[in-house]
Amino acid sequence: MDTPQDILRNLGLNSSVLTGGTLIARSPIDGAELAQVREHTVAQAHSAITRARQASQAWRDVPAPRRGELIRLFGETLRQHKSELGRLVSLEAGKIVAEGEGEVQEMIDICDFAVGLSRQLYGLTIASERPGHRMMETWHPLGVVGVISAFNFPVAVWAWNSALAIVCGNAVVWKPSEKTPLTALACQALFAQAMQRFGDAPAGLSEVLIGGREVGEALVDSHTVALVSATGSTRMGRQVGPRVAQRFGRVLLELGGNNAIIVGPTADLDMAARGIVFGAIGTAGQRCTTTRRLIVHESVADELLQRLHKAYASAPIGNPLDSGNLVGPLIDRVSFDAMQTALTAAREQGGKVTGGERVLADQYPDAWYVRPAIAEMPGQTDVVCHETFAPILYVMRYKEFGDALAMQNGVPQGLSSAIFTNDLREAETFLSAAGSDCGIANVNIGTSGAEIGGAFGGEKETGGGRESGSDAWRNYMRRATNTINYSRNLPLAQGIKFGE
Ligand code: NAD
C-alpha cells in the first residue's frame, strides 16, 4: 500500500513544501503527522492576490470556449488521479474511501459541466421601448475570486467554485481549511499539470494560500478580490459577510445546516431508514447536509426507530481506508468535545440518548472515533436548533403534518430538507411556497448527496449563496446592460422631452 508520502509524490507534490513548515498536517485516522507544511504570510497573500489580478486581466480576453479547454484538461487530469486524490482526502479528512473518491468524482462532474458552460455564457436581448434601439445584457468576468473552504469537503468545494470562476474568465485565490492543506496543495499541483498541457494560461490564474484565519482575512479585506465565496460555519460567515460588505465586495456564503427529514404515515419505511442512515452517519455526521433531525409521524415512529437502532448497531466504525467500514473518525478532539457537550445538553433537555460514546480508543489513542448517536427528544429543544458537526440524530414525533412542517422550518438554518411520503398532497405541500424553507427540498431521498447539476446552497443562517450547477455561474460574472441606438434620432426613455 502507498504511504502518504508516496501518494503526495505521485500527485506531483514537491517535498520541499511538506517539510520544515509550521502547519502540522495530521491524519484524523490515527493522529499521525503527515507533513509540516509551510504557511503563507499576509504579505505573501497580498502578492498572490496581485498575481491573480494580473492573470485575470489576460485571461478575460481568452474566448470562453478556449477557457473551457483548460478545465477539460483539468478534468482529464483528475480522472487520471482519482483514486490517489480520493485516498488523500480520506487520509486528511478521515472520509471512507468511497466518499473520498466520490468527492473527486464531484470535481470531475463540475469540470464537465463547466466545459459545456464555457459555450453557454449567454445574456438576454430585451425589447427596447425606443425605435431604432436594441437592448441586451452582456456578462463579464469579475476579476479575482477568493475561495475560503471548510475541512469536510476539502477538494470539491474549491472545484465547484474554481471550475465555474475560471471558465467565466476569473482568476482564483483559494484559502483551504488549515486542517486540510495537503489536499489543497495536491489540487494545485494537478491544476498546474493541466495548465502546462494547456500551454499559454497566465501564471497566477490559480493561487493557494496555506494558513489560518489571518490569510483568509487578507482575502476578505482586499479590494482586489471582487467576490469572496466562503464555505464553513455560520460563525465564520458572521465574520466574513459583514467585512466583505463593508467594502462593497460581493460575498457568496455556504454555511452550516441543520437538516431534517420528515417521515409521514404513508412512507416506505425501508427506503426512509436507508436514506436516514446514509444522511445521519455518512462522513461521520460531518457534512453540511448531514441529516440532524428526524421528524416522524407517531404512527410509524416506533417501527422506524427500531430499524434505525438495528442499522446503527451494525454500522462498522473504524479506519476509513478499510473498505469494510462505513463510519470514520471525527476530525479532531474539539469536534469530539462539542459532540459530548451537545449530548449532555440533550439529556438535560429531556432526551433519551443511545450511542455517542468514544470507541477504538485503545487502538487509536490519538484519534476520535464515536458511535453515532440517536437522541429521542420530547420536542425541538434548544440543543436541536444548533448544528453540532458530529453524528447526532435528534428524533421528534408529530401528529399533524402542519406541526411537522413548522418543526422542519423552526430552526435558524435552511440548507437541506427531505420528506419520505407516498401522499401526493404532503409531498407537494412540502415543495410549495408554504412548505420547506430550505435551499434544497427533496422527496423520497435524503438530505445529503446532492448532484452538481443543481444549484447548491441554503437560506437563513446558511447564508443564501448558491454554487455549482443551474445558473450559479452568474455569481462569478458581472452583468452589463447595453442599449445601442442605430437610429438617427435620440429619443429619451419614458418619452421625456428635454429642450426640444
Ligand atoms: P470553519 O468555519 O471553522 O472554517 C471554514 C474556513 O473559514 C476555514 O478555511 C477557516 O480558516 C476560515 N475562516 C474562519 N474564520 C475566518 C475569518 N474570520 N476570516 C476568514 N476566514 C476564516 O468551518 P469548518 O469547521 O472547517 O467546517 C465545518 C462547517 O462548514 C460546518 O458548519 C458545515 O456545515 C459548514 N459547511 C457548509 C457547507 C455548505 O455548502 N453550506 C459545505 C461544507 C461545510
Residue 415 near ligand 1, beta carbon < 6 Å: yes
Average pLDDT over residues 79-99: 96
Catalytic residue among 103, 254, 376, 387: 254
471 is a domain residue: yes
Residue ID of nearest Cα to ligand 1 atom 39: 254
Query: pLDDT tens digits for 197-224?
Result: 999 999 999 999 999 999 999 999 999 9
Give the distance (Å) from ligand 1 centre to CA of residue 232. 2
Give the distance (Å) from ligand 1 centre to CA of residue 239. 11
Question: What's the domain count of the chain?
Answer: 2
306 is a domain residue: yes
Asked if 364 and 425 sit in the same domain, the reply is yes
Asked if 224 and 284 sit in the same domain, the reply is no
Pocket residue to mutate for ligand 1, from 89, 110, 231, 244, most atoms within 8 A of Cβ: 231
96 is a domain residue: yes
Asked if 112 and 11 sit in the same domain, the reply is yes
Q: Which of 33-37, 172-176, 380-384 has the weakest average pLDDT?
A: 33-37
**Given the CA of residue 467, which atom of ligand 1 is nearest to it?**
40
CA 14/CA 10 separation, integer angstroms = 10
Query: pLDDT tens digits for 226-259?
Result: 999 999 999 999 999 999 999 999 999 999 999 9
411 is a domain residue: yes
Would the pLDDT of 482 be above 90?
A: yes
Asked if 166 and 278 sit in the same domain, the reply is no
pLDDT at 11: 87
Asked if 352 and 243 sit in the same domain, the reply is no
Give the distance (Å) from ligand 1 centre to CA of residue 8. 25
pLDDT at 1: 58
**Given the CA of residue 290, which atom of ligand 1 is nearest to it?**
34
Residue 256 near ligand 1, beta carbon < 6 Å: yes
Asked if 278 and 234 sit in the same domain, the reply is no
Would the pLDDT of 43 be above 90?
A: yes
Residue 153 near ligand 1, beta carbon < 6 Å: yes
Residue 36 near ligand 1, beta carbon < 6 Å: no
Would the pLDDT of 115 be above 90?
A: yes
Asked if 20 and 140 sit in the same domain, the reply is yes
Residue 220 near ligand 1, beta carbon < 6 Å: yes
Average pLDDT over residues 451-459: 97
Asked if 249 and 268 sit in the same domain, the reply is no
Give the distance (Å) from ligand 1 centre to CA of residue 462. 11
Would the pLDDT of 500 be above 90?
A: no
- Residue 80 has phi, psi (to 5 degrees) of -65, -30
pLDDT at 198: 98
Give the distance (Å) from ligand 1 centre to CA of residue 254. 8
Residue 252 near ligand 1, beta carbon < 6 Å: no
Asked if 79 and 192 sit in the same domain, the reply is yes
**Given the CA of residue 232, which atom of ligand 1 is nearest to it?**
30
499 is a domain residue: no
Asked if 227 and 264 sit in the same domain, the reply is no
Residue ID of nearest Cα to ligand 1 atom 26: 150
211 is a domain residue: yes
Range of the domain at 273: 259-443
Residue 239 near ligand 1, beta carbon < 6 Å: yes
Asked if 74 and 210 sit in the same domain, the reply is yes
Unique residue bearing C-alpha cell 478499510: 322
Give the distance (Å) from ligand 1 centre to CA of residue 395. 26
CA 424/CA 104 separation, integer angstroms = 36
162 is a domain residue: yes
Q: Which of 3-12, 99-108, 142-151, 408-417 has the weakest average pLDDT?
A: 3-12
Pocket residue to mutate for ligand 1, from 180, 236, 466, most atoms within 8 A of Cβ: 236
Query: pLDDT tens digits for 148-169?
Result: 999 999 999 999 999 999 999 9
Would the pLDDT of 117 be above 90?
A: yes
Residue ID of nearest Cα to ligand 1 atom 10: 177
Asked if 133 and 185 sit in the same domain, the reply is yes
Cα atoms found within 13 Å of the Cα of residue 419, Cβ hemisphere only:
28
To the nearest whole number, what is the mean pLDDT of the chain? Answer: 97
pLDDT at 2: 72
Q: Residue 348 belongs to a domain with what CATH number?
A: 3.40.309.10
Unique residue bearing C-alpha cell 476520535: 368
The yes-or-no answer on residue 129 being catalytic is no
308 is a domain residue: yes
Residue 240 near ligand 1, beta carbon < 6 Å: yes
pTM over 0.95: yes
Q: Residue 159 belongs to a domain with what CATH number?
A: 3.40.605.10
